[in-house]
Structure 1
Amino acid sequence: MGCFNDIRLFVACFGMLLLTDIMAGVMKKSSLTTIERRFNLPSTTTALLASSFQIGSLTTVLFASYFGSRWHRPRTIFIGSIFLVLGNVIVTLPQFFGGIYEFQDIASNASSSTRARITECGSHNDSSDMAEIHCNEENNPTNNLYILLVVGMMINGVGGSALQPLGMSYIDDFAHKRNSPIYLGLTKAIALVGPMMGYVVSSFVLKLWVDIGWVEISTINITPTHPSWVGAWWLGLLICTSGIAITMIPFPYFPKKMQKQKYKGKSTDEHTDELDEKPSKRDKDDNESAQTGSALSREKKKFIATMTSLLKNHFFHLILLKMYLGNLAFVGIANFFPKYLEVAFGVSASKASLLTGVINIPAVIVGTLIGAFTMKRCNVGTVGATRMIAVATFLASACIAPLLFIGCDTIDISGITTPYENGTYDNLPAVESACNANCGCDSGTYAPVCGSDGVSYISPCHAGCVGAEYDASGLTQNFTECSCIAATRESVSWAKPERCQLSNCGDLVFVALAFKSAASLFAGIAATPMYIVMLRSVQVDQKSLAIGLYLVIIRVLCWIPGPIIYGAFIDSACLYWGMKPCSDRAYCKVYDNKAYRHRFYGMIVLFNILSCMVAIALYYVAKRVQKKEKRDSTDVPLKDENLNGVETKDDPDVEEKLM
């Protein structure tokens, strides 16, 4: 099929596949707080979910990268896409098997299939037998269904393990080397539309009730800003999965090899066509295998030899270190930035996803395109490319550092951030006081109310309220006779069923997003040069395996432990752990905002500074190697003034000088 023998069509199709796959990934990441509430999980457990994808990918990425490149790269991508679809479907199964979500509702003070009863002071003194019966009635299987999320994410990892190694190397192999940076940059730019669309779709579906289609929506009396709200996270994932199923269709029709693209513009290298037409080591190996018959043992030896060559390439090691440190900073942003916006600025989960998608992600896309077009337009050489990486990384670090100091303080919550009357700050947090000591409040309850004194309390029981006022429909208007709330001259103490405030500096969210977007712009500028330098530092038949090795290192040392480490640091800033009745799973309800911000962004700033230092070292190493090459021989094609003309792959002497 002639139309499928065009690398430009492959760039478009591969970009769209990555776009839909990343959309699905963003849907899962932006729904982390929603999944926490749905299955009563701490941040460390949800971080394990994020790491499950990397664990699954790790099992196959090297073999899929190497053997997939020797078999048929487009068809291997198609098979991987099937696993992506299967994994996403499994991730949504807990919603269908888990029953109806029960939330804590204090406005409707009655027990139903969708509400957990929240009562006033003194109404918790039921017999233990009645409490046990209540727990047995409400015991449901959702506590362990999150295991399906782990399994589905691991299958996702298996399917997605070979997409980038095979797709990116396929583009670089069959595009003209002058066009390769722009094609790779366009592919990444198209793919980066995925996060933006994913966050936008996420913001829409998270406004829908999680059990839409199962319950009568008119009976849900809480809004997306309520602390117990859970949106339809599963619906967005199914939408994105449908996109993957559609965009994967063309890949079986692309050839194993296509003719090398000819450059139509003016070439600055008289030997470009000659260099492009030289057979690679892989081509020679394939011809030899066809003549002698390939065996599994022979392929194993070739795999080991190729891996050994990569492990001896010290310039490649420095590139991996730079990318590793950059990913350590990015992993926190990717997994916990929407949650940070929720906690630090009091925005809803849907608004956090929308802000991330429409403000932050476009900056990454613009930066990626700027980097790609600069590489092509200015004919950037190796030293110039590493200089771009160093400068852009420094500017990104400078923009992210101020976020350590931009944020809101924790809102006043009696017994957590501010003491009860006659209490002291030294004993905080202390949710029990003399005013509610005889109320028998459930530990771990979090159903905040706003007292007439302007302070929030974690529940009407903890506010010492013994009465309630109802409207005509039976909804609670106010809780009354609250012993922990100081009465005013005009009226007795009371509390309304909501928090007094969601944030004390909500407008600062746009200032924080401005700095974050600037950092993302500069990080995007460095992305394409970084990828090109990595591909040009290895032989042509090592590209797929080099990308695969990069992904293994990043996932083992970064994407698997990274979310867990960030989650542990975030949980260490927790002031109050919530727990549903009849459940032994604790999840954080109130954070120390300042500690959260300093620990979250402190790690990000640290990794950015280290990444900047390595980028500067990479520039000086490339500059030193270029000077040495010019002294040794003017005929060596590596590290000339055109990075796109670097031919490390065809000159073993030059490769030794990089090692």
Structure 2
Amino acid sequence: MTVDGNPDRLIEPRPMENSGCNQKTPQTKCCSPTLKIFIGLLAFCYFTKSLTGAYTKSTITQIERRFEIPSSIVGIIDGSFEMGNLLVITAVSYFGAKFHRPKIIGAGVLLMGVGTLLMALPHFIMSRYKYDTAAAHTNDADNFTVSSTCSSDNQNTVQQLVSGCLKGEAESSPTWVIVLFGNILRGIGEASIGPLGMSFIDDYAHPENSAFYIGCLHTLGVIGPIFGYSLGSLCASLYVDIGLVNQESMTITPQDSRWVGAWWLGYVVTGLLTILAALPLWFLPRALPETPQASKLDHPSNQHKHTLSITEIAKDFGPSLKRLLTNGIYLLYLVSSVLAFNTFTIFITYTPKYLEHQFGQSASKTNFLIGVTSIPAVALGMFLSGWIMKRFKLSLLGSARLMFFSSVTALVCTIPYFALSCENIDVAGVTVPYQGSIEGQDIRRGLLTSCNADCGCPDFQWDPVCGQNGVTYISPCHAGCNSTRGAGQHMTFHGCTCIQSWGLTSGNSSAVLGQCSRESSSCTKMFYIYLALQSLTFFVYCLGTVPFFLFSLRIVDPALKSLSVGVFLLVLRVFGGIPAPICFGALIDLTCLKWGQKKCGGTGACRIYDIETFRYLFLGLVSSLQTISYTLLWIVTAQIKRKVQNDKQISKDKELQHPVLCDSE
């Protein structure tokens, strides 16, 4: 974009502001072929960006299990995207608007692709994934060597593990840092897409069409999560070391809390696609001289204005930022948006994890259903939002009212969520006591009782089996099982003394691999009702999406548009995108009932949560933040209404003071 002819103000031209479609100027167009190409390429960038973002959200539990880290660390990885974004968002938004915007966007998208590929790197430098199992141990030929699940040999196994750690056979270094760094690069690259892309369209599109184009842009971008969650579903159904392990010899299924899907595969696919999206942007022109006003910028007498230094441009940054931050309505809108963005970040980050644990669904099924139910509702809501803005030509006040109506209606739709829940599965010593013993609150005490006291069961084991009494035991050892039959996923355990203590006969005291399923009919029904309500909520809320994005453009001086969007996105990331997943991840960790443990010591990933506490924490926090945010939005709407009334009164007073001028016109 060329710099305007007025070096004192450094305001970008608005070629299309004063040239509508109904004018007879031959060079005037509502949307030139070049602008259409730019919108198409930018939409593809939005697609790849949202594709990778949705895929990242879908791999949260997979990354947590693969690297044996708690939810708080996963929250840091998720928030690292925002950390990288805020490092450059303000500078890119302000300085980038003065130079070649398509090329800057292209460079940012290229950096996003590199960062995405980097996120898959740990898989190729780590050893194969090995999950703990007390049922069997495998060698390189995938042959099972079955040992007694209830014997003193278990203590010898623990001693061997400790001895191995002391000899230096420790677990690998925290390679999850590479995933974090790659996500930071993604955030840095993404900083140019939003502010520079929207301001470029707003500069060269007709004002009445700008909202519609941006609405279409975000609608096409929302298609990305459909493919992102679908890709996440496919990769979650594939074992992490795909092609290197005999699937028939495995003792876990995708429903198991130790299962890790091929989380790395999606990052390779999305990274290559993102790099492909970046290349065409480098061949677009710096500006679109479609009108006589814009064409004058290329006149030789104005060429010296194109070579302004960064120092000269930076002189106006301080005063521009001061003008922006002294806008009361803008500041109040920022606070409301931060709270709303906290809600959105928590919801979109932890919904897959919530559904997995609340309704007992696999990651693959959860990701697929989110992609095919909720995301189309979001796309339709965004499209209708842009259409409503264009069809009814909503003013700033009308936009604020649309935002407030859609937000409050969406909040009402979330109330039934509280009634949709399943109970915790019965896990002996964790959620229910062993038969005949008192229920202990301390996990370490509750896991051992008289029926398995002589088995020497190590605390870190998590190899759940389902007994014939309908109770889950965290391992065959903790169930007191004395013998095994079969191999792989068909292995069964017999002579389980803890199951006999429930009053079952010795012939009925067997167990099978895996957790016991919940009372499926009612729980599964609630799961589908929840998805339907969630889709409705997303649709209603997204009716206010386009006003939400355009607000930062319309409530400030036209010269501050790019800076306004940049500061807006910066504040959202600093106070919403970064702390929300980290803090809420730490709160989720407080609801964990049984932690996994690393072989050489240290806390691993959580195996089972108190889902009732998880539910009230998740839904209660989201609803509270929404309520406060929408209250502030109501105040913003009231202030805009008051400002509009004052402006009308001032205009009427001027007409009364100059009646002759009005009559002559």
Compute the TM-score of the two structures, normalised by the length of structure 1: 0.88
Query: Equivalent residue for 1:54?
Result: 82
* Deviation digits for residues 77-129 of structure 1 (CA, Å, limit 9, x no counterpart): 11111211111111111000001111234554545698999961223131776
Aligned pair count reads 617
Of residues 394-403 and 286-295 in structure 1, the stretch that sits farther from structure 2 once superposed is 286-295
The one-letter code sitting in structure 1 at the alignment partner of 2:102 is P
Mapped partners of 1:110, 1:634: distance in 2:
86
* More displaced stretch, 136-145 vs 109-118: 109-118
1:566 maps to which residue? 584
Q: Check whether the contact 1:68–1:166 (CA below 8 A) recurs between aligned residues.
A: yes
1:158 counterpart residue number: 188
Q: In 1, distance between residues paired with 2:148 and 2:173?
A: 24
> For 2:601 and 2:638, how far apart are their aligned partners in 1?
57
Q: In the alignment, which residue of structure 1 is the partner of 2:110?
A: 82
Q: Which among 581, 592, 611 is matched to residue 599 of structure 2? A: 581
Q: CA contact under 8 A between 1:27 and 1:233: conserved in structure 2? A: no
The residue identity in structure 2 corresponding to 1:326 is A
Please name the residue that 1:189 is paired with.
219
For 2:266, the equivalent position in structure 1 comes to 236
Deviations 1:399-448 (CA, angstroms, capped at 9, x unpaired): 11221231111111111111012223354642122222232211122111
Q: Which residue in 2 is equivalent to 1:651?
A: none
The yes-or-no answer on 1:120 pairing with 2:146 is no
Return the alpha-carbon distance in structure 1 between the equivalents of residues 612 and 247 of structure 2: 37
Check if 1:357 corresponds to 2:386. Answer: no
Q: Secondary structure at the match of 2:485?
A: strand
Distance 1:150 1:292 in 2: 39
- Given the alignment, which residue of 15, 33, 40 partners 1:12? 40
Cα distance change, pair 257–539 in 1 and its aligned pair in 2 (3 A)? farther
**Which of 393, 416, 441 lines up with 2:457 in the alignment?**
441
Is the aligned partner of 1:38 residue 2:66? yes
Check if 1:71 corresponds to 2:87. Answer: no
Segment of structure 1 superposing worse, 544-553 or 2-11: 2-11
Written as runs of structure 1 = structure 2, the 5 A alignment for 1:638-653 is: none
Going from structure 1 to structure 2, the CA distance change for 1:633 and 1:116 (only over 3 Å counts) comes to farther
Counterpart in 2 of 1:540? Answer: 558
2:308: which partner in 1?
294
- Change in Cα spacing, 1:448 to 1:9, as seen in structure 2 (3 Å) is same
Partner of 2:362: 348
How far apart in 2 are the matches of 1:400 and 1:601? Answer: 8
Root-mean-square deviation over aligned CA pairs = 2.9
Distance change >3 Å, CA 116–CA 551, structure 1 → 2: farther
Opposite residue 63 of structure 1, the aligned amino acid is A
Quick check: 2:109–2:277 contact (8 Å CA) kept in 1? no
**Residue 252 (1) aligns with residue 282 (2):** yes
Q: 1:402 aligns with which of 412, 416, 438?
A: 416
Distance 2:61 2:334 in 1: 32
Q: Which residue of 2 aligns with 1:378?
A: 392
- Residues 452 and 497 in structure 2, CA contact (< 8 A), matched pair in contact too: no
Structure 2 vs 1, CA of residues 49 and 502 (structure 1 numbering), >3 Å: closer, same or farther? farther
Give the CA deviation at 1:221: 4.5
Aligned positions of 1:127-526 closer than 5 A: 130-135=160-165, 139=169, 142-259=172-289, 290-291=304-305, 294-425=308-439, 427=441, 429=443, 430-470=446-486, 476-483=491-498, 485-486=500-501, 487-489=503-505, 491=507, 493-502=509-518, 505-526=523-544
Q: Distance in 2 between matches of 1:513 and 1:22?
A: 21
* Distance change >3 Å, CA 533–CA 118, structure 1 → 2: farther
SS of 1:250's equivalent? helix
More moved, 388-397 vs 136-145: 136-145
Question: Are the equivalent residues in 2 in contact too, given 1:417–1:428 (CA < 8 A)?
Answer: no
% same residue: 30
Secondary structure at 1:507 match in 2: helix
Per-residue deviation, 1:611 = 1.8
Q: Cα deviation per residue 1:446-479 (whole Å; 9 max; x = unaligned)?
A: 11111122211111111122222236x8963224
Q: CA 1:635–1:203 in structure 2 vs 1: closer, same or farther (change >3 Å)?
A: farther
Please tell me whether the aligned partners of residues 91 and 148 of structure 1 are also in contact (alpha carbons under 8 angstroms).
yes
Q: Give the match's secondary structure for 1:60.
A: helix
Please tell me the residue identity of whatever aligns with 1:355.
L
List runs of 5+ in structure 1 lacking aligned partners: 262-275, 637-659
Cα deviation for residue 172 of structure 1 reads 1.1
Task: Report the 3-state secondary structure (helix = DSSP H, G, I; strand = E; otherwise coil) of the residue aligned with 1:450.
Answer: strand
| Mapped contact 2:481–2:493 kept (Cα < 8 A) | no
Q: Is the 8 A contact 2:480 2:495 kept in 1?
A: no
1:53–1:154 Cα contact (<8 Å) kept: yes
> 1:326 and 1:536 mapped to 2: Cα distance?
20
Contact 1:4/1:10 (8 A) holds in 2: no
Q: 2:466 touches 2:515 (CA, 8 Å); kept in 1?
A: yes
Distance change >3 Å, CA 404–CA 23, structure 1 → 2 = same
- The one-letter amino acid of 2:527's match is V
**Structure 2 CA distance, aligned partners of 1:318 and 1:196?**
33
Give the CA deviation at 1:227.
2.3
Q: Are the aligned partners of 1:435 and 1:483 in contact in 2 as well (CA < 8 Å)?
A: yes
Could you tell me how far apart the structure 2 residues matched to 1:620 and 1:147 are?
Answer: 46
AA paired with 2:81? F
Change (3 A) 1:603 1:188: same
What residue in structure 2 maps to residue 93 of structure 1? 121
- Please give the secondary structure, in 1, of the residue aligned with 2:414: helix
Contact kept? 1:109, 1:476, Cα under 8 Å: no
How far 1:585 sits from its partner (Å)?
Answer: 3.0
Check the 8 A contact 2:171/2:600 in 1, yes or no: no
Partner of 2:434: helix, strand, or coil?
A: coil
- Displacement of 1:625 after TM fit? 0.6
Shift, 1:507, TM fit? 2.1
| C-alpha distance 407-6 of structure 1, shift in aligned 2 (>3 A) | same
Amino acid at match of 1:377: R
Quick one: distance in 1 between partners of 2:608 and 2:318?
Answer: 52
Amino acid of the structure 1 residue aligned with 2:93: S
Shift of 1:634: 5.5
| 2:396 and 2:554 in contact (8 A); partners too | no
- Which of 616, 637, 641 aligns to 1:623? It is 641
| Aligned equivalents of 2:94, 2:549: Cα separation in 1 | 18
Aligned to 2:662: none
1:22 alignment partner AA: S
Amino acid at match of 1:572: L
Give the secondary-structure state (helix, strand or coil) at the position aligned to 1:575. strand
Match for 1:520: what amino acid?
Answer: F
Structure-2 separation of matches of 1:401 and 1:254: 48
User: Secondary structure of the equivalent of 1:59?
Assistant: helix
Question: What TM-score, normalized to structure 2?
Answer: 0.87
Letter in 1 for 2:465: V
Give distance in 1, aligned partners of 2:261 and 2:303.
Answer: 55
- Deviation per residue, 1:224-267 (Å, 9 max, x gap): 12222111111111111122122222211222221468xxxxxx
User: CA–CA distance in 1 between the matches of 2:293 and 2:550?
Assistant: 20
Matches of 1:628 and 1:242 in 2, distance apart?
54
CA-CA distance at 1:304 after TM superposition:
1.4
The question of whether the paired residues in 2 share the 8 Å contact of 1:105 and 1:116 is answered with: no
SS where residue 425 of structure 1 aligns? coil
Whether the 8 Å contact between 1:90 and 1:152 is mirrored in structure 2 is yes
What CA distance in whole angstroms lies between the structure 2 residues aligned with 1:433 and 1:203?
A: 40
Bigger shift: residues 495-504 or 132-141 = 132-141
The verdict on how the C-alpha distance between 1:291 and 1:69 changes in structure 2, with shifts beyond 3 A counting, is closer
Give the Å deviation of 1:147.
Answer: 1.0
Structure 2 gap ranges (5+): 1-26, 655-665
